[in-house]
Amino acid sequence: VSDDAIYNLALRVGSLLAENGFVVVSGGRGGVMEAVCRGAKMHNSLTLAFLPGFNFDEANDFVDLVIPTGLGYARNAINVLASEVVISISGGYGTLSEIGLALAYNRHVIILSGSGGVSDFAAKWFGDDKKVLVVDSPEKAVEAVKSLLNVDG
Amino acid sequence: VSDDAIYNLALRVGSLLAENGFVVVSGGRGGVMEAVCRGAKMHNSLTLAFLPGFNFDEANDFVDLVIPTGLGYARNAINVLASEVVISISGGYGTLSEIGLALAYNRHVIILSGSGGVSDFAAKWFGDDKKVLVVDSPEKAVEAVKSLLNVDG
Amino acid sequence: VSDDAIYNLALRVGSLLAENGFVVVSGGRGGVMEAVCRGAKMHNSLTLAFLPGFNFDEANDFVDLVIPTGLGYARNAINVLASEVVISISGGYGTLSEIGLALAYNRHVIILSGSGGVSDFAAKWFGDDKKVLVVDSPEKAVEAVKSLLNVDG
Amino acid sequence: VSDDAIYNLALRVGSLLAENGFVVVSGGRGGVMEAVCRGAKMHNSLTLAFLPGFNFDEANDFVDLVIPTGLGYARNAINVLASEVVISISGGYGTLSEIGLALAYNRHVIILSGSGGVSDFAAKWFGDDKKVLVVDSPEKAVEAVKSLLNVDG
């Protein structure tokens, strides 16, 4: 999957979440994190981000509430605790840790299959895990969020 | 200082912050934390709270964005890092740690003298510290925030 | 893989680490964590454990230095940062997060294939990742540690 | 109080703790933290340190077990949770936060009066607080530790 395709998938997830009135939480940096915030701002949803470092200006331009945690990757635990549903899009080792932390903390996890990176591996791995939903489009991801949180369509 | 008087001081601080358009960050529990959130909601400002525990429902009723950190008192470091200015109102050991952490992280600290608890001690202690402003009313506290952040009156 | 078999694999890893003079770091609770500490104490190595909670007495009986972190699963970030090499044995969601965090923090990761749980999945997944070593016995795991840390046999 | 005098007080505290068989926990950096570790190694006690950063080599030369936490000042919460008794020697804002965190976590706190910095202020402040002991020499500080932990002289 190309970087552009991944960025567009994340943009679409953010946009659909915002259209449905959800607050979007992310790690606040570039790539997928930027795309999802940018998408959310297209429909004027609130975006919240937990940075690993100490400075407000490490956030991308589409974050409304920047929270510098100073915790390094331990901030991943807060990313998932702050969220009612966690959506995994592409990603690397940090994303892998967030899938583990989200499940350890009993958060719903949705994996966007076809988005590359760790998410594609995890889609295979967790295919049989009842705590994980594997979907293959941004639309289905956001429908799953609505269903999990009992929000009407 | 009576508990009621402390609650009212905190309510007034929250209300004035909201009236001036500031987002209010707190620890999200009862007492001063509840009062400041309640005050902020009188003028419809956004309230954000970092809980020490794991559950959304540990927050008071006036928090818009509840962030369960699961970090215990280590969450105090995030309370202060997330804030541009920290206002100390009454308080105990946890508040004392937040004053220390805020100063260690180079955040502006305003202490509300006359609010009892740790704040009254700190008001004396930090009277000569250039990084700390001691004020004696909610109005002066919020004026100081505006001045520190270069917001017009 | 049966629980007894997993326990014995972990016990053997701890014992071999201790025999070779390594300090053993773990999460300090039961199961694999207890087994590895118990094994380490057979050869009198130092055992160090980071607990998720606040109380010293949540540790198993084979931990010399108990560190209650009060950080919940965010303590997994400290488990891996404190370690020069991370060995994954069986495990669940928490272990998955530790593999992710260890790799994000550039720690060496050794996965004990055949130990069940998350480790067996990760053994397949990371078979081609240069930052991960997959081994199939406690002996090979500890040989790999020695080799990674340039310790003579 | 001169820097040399403070260093020597901390060295003496570390040395006496070690002589009495205590493990010494500190923040692992320079100044008072180095002095207390150096003192402890004079009598071959174990020294343990929690660093704010990510790298083992940020520790002073007298730390046996270096734990890089990557948590910034939030690591102060672990410093105090890991300790049965906390001794405050001189110090600045970080030390102030540790006094607050230690008391919030119900740890015993001993303040070395006459050591300058935050400790001298806190000695006055906490003179009437039953959870805090104010002492005026390293000898009395370590006697207080033994008494609090019921260790024979």
Q: What is the pLDDT of residue C70?
A: 98
CB contact under 8 A, D105 and C48: no
Chain A CB contacts of D73 below 8 Å: 70
Q: How many Cβ atoms from other residues are within 10 Å of residue B127's Cβ? A: 11
**Res B153: pLDDT:** 54
pLDDT above 70 for B151: yes
Chain mean pLDDT for chain A: 96
pLDDT of residue C42: 97
Residue among C93, C103, C125 minimizing CB distance to A121: C125
Report the residue from D48, D70, D82 with minimal CB separation from C77: D70
User: C126 to chain A nearest CA, in Å?
Assistant: 10
How would residue A128 be classed by pLDDT, with cut points 50, 70 and 90?
Answer: confident
Tell me which residue has tokens 């659909």: A16
Cβ–Cβ below 8 Å for C78 and D67? yes
pLDDT per residue as tens digits for the range D8-48: 999 999 999 999 999 999 999 999 999 999 999 999 999 99
- CB < 8 Å to C74, chain B: 70-71
SS (H, E, C) A103-145: HHCCCEEEEECCCCHHHHHHHHHHHHCCCEEEECCHHHHHHHH
Is the sign of the CA dihedral B78, B79, B80, B84 positive or negative? positive
CB pairs under 8 A between B and D: 72
Q: Average pLDDT, stretch B43-60? A: 97
Task: Collect all residues of chain D within an 8 Å Cβ-Cβ radius of residue C105.
Answer: 54, 70
Exposure pattern of C46-68 as b/e (b: 16+ CB <10 Å)?
Answer: bbbbbbbbeeeebbbebbbbbbb
Query: Considering only CB atoms, which chain D residues are within 8 Å of A72?
Result: 54, 70-71
Interface touch C94/A100, C-beta < 8 Å: yes
Rg (CA), chain D: 14
Confidence of residue A126 (pLDDT cuts 50, 70, 90): confident
Q: Which residue in D74, D92, D96 is closest to B77 by CB distance?
A: D74
Task: Quickly state the pLDDT bin for D91 (edges 50, 70, 90).
Answer: very high
Predicted confidence at residue C129, as pLDDT, reads 79
Residue of D nearest to A73 (CA): D70
Residue among B76, B93, B99 whose CB faces D103 most closely? B93
Q: pLDDT digit string (tens) for B74-97?
A: 999 999 999 999 999 999 999 999
> Which residues in A have their CB inside 8 Å of a CB on C?
71-74, 76-78, 92-101, 103-105, 121, 125
Could you report how far apart the first and last alpha carbons of chain B are, in Å?
30
Alpha-carbon distance C20 to nearest alpha carbon in chain A (angstroms): 30
Q: Percent of chain A beyond pLDDT 70?
A: 99
Do B71 and A78 make contact, defined as CB atoms within 8 angstroms? Answer: yes
CA dist A136 and B83 (Å) reads 39
Tens digit of each residue's pLDDT (9 = 90 or more) over B21-31: 999 999 999 99
CB distance B77–D77 less than 8 Å?
A: yes
Selection from B76, B89, B83 nearest residue B33 by Cα: B89
Once rounded to an integer, what is the mean pLDDT over residues B117-141?
91
> Which of the four pLDDT bands, split at 50, 70 and 90, describes residue A153?
low
pLDDT at C128 over 90: no
Chain B residue nearest residue D119, CA to CA: B125
Q: Is the pLDDT of residue B121 over 70?
A: yes
- Comparing C-alpha atoms, which of B121, C135, B36, A24 is closest to residue D121? B121
Report the gap between the CA of C68 and the closest CA in chain D (Å). Answer: 6
The mean per-residue pLDDT over the stretch C67-91 comes to 98
Q: Given an 8 Å threshold on Cβ–Cβ distance, is C72 in contact with A74?
A: no
Instruction: Return the higher-pLDDT residue of A18 and D125.
Output: A18
Residue with tokens 């990674």: C148
Q: For residue D93, what is the nearest residue in chain B, using CA coordinates?
A: B100
pLDDT band of residue C153 (cuts 50, 70, 90) is low
Residue type, A103: L
> What's the confidence (pLDDT) of residue C48?
98
A11-55, pLDDT tens digit by residue?
999 999 999 999 999 999 999 999 999 999 999 999 999 999 999
CA distances from A59 to A26, A28, B105, C23, C43 (A): 10, 5, 18, 39, 49
- The nearest alpha carbon in chain D to A71 belongs to D71
CB pairs under 8 A between B and C: 15
Whether residue D80 has pLDDT greater than 70: yes
- Give the mean pLDDT of B39-51: 97
Q: Best residue in B80, B81, B97 to probe D by mutation, most D CBs within 10 Å?
A: B97
Report the C-alpha dihedral over residues A83, A85, A90, A92, rounded to 10 degrees.
Answer: 50
Cβ-defined contact of B100 to D103 (cutoff 8 Å): no
C5-45 pLDDT, tens digit each: 999 999 999 999 999 999 999 999 999 999 999 999 999 99
Which residue out of A50, A71, A78 would a mutagenesis test of the D interface target, given it has the greatest number of D Cβ atoms within 10 Å? Answer: A71
> What residue of A is the nearest CA neighbor of C107?
A93
Residues 6+ apart with CB under 8 A from D124: none
**Single pTM value for the model:** 0.96
The strands making up C24-26's β-sheet, listed across from edge to edge, are C24-26, C47-51, C65-68
Q: Kindly tell me if the per-residue pLDDT of A152 is higher than 80.
A: no
Of B78, B94, B99, the CB nearest to D96: B99
- The answer to whether the CB atoms of D69 and C48 lie below 8 A apart is no
The residue of chain D nearest to residue C83, with distances taken between CA atoms, is: D67
Q: Of the given ranges (A81-85, D129-133, D136-140), which has the lowest mean pLDDT?
A: D129-133
Nearest to B121 by CA among B78, B149, B150, B92: B92
Closest residue in chain B to residue A22, using alpha carbons only: B65
Percent of chain C with pLDDT over 70: 99
pLDDT single digits (tens) A49-72: 999 999 999 999 999 999 999 999
Closest approach of A2 to chain B, Cα-based (Å): 34
CB-nearest partner of C81 from D65, D70, D81: D70
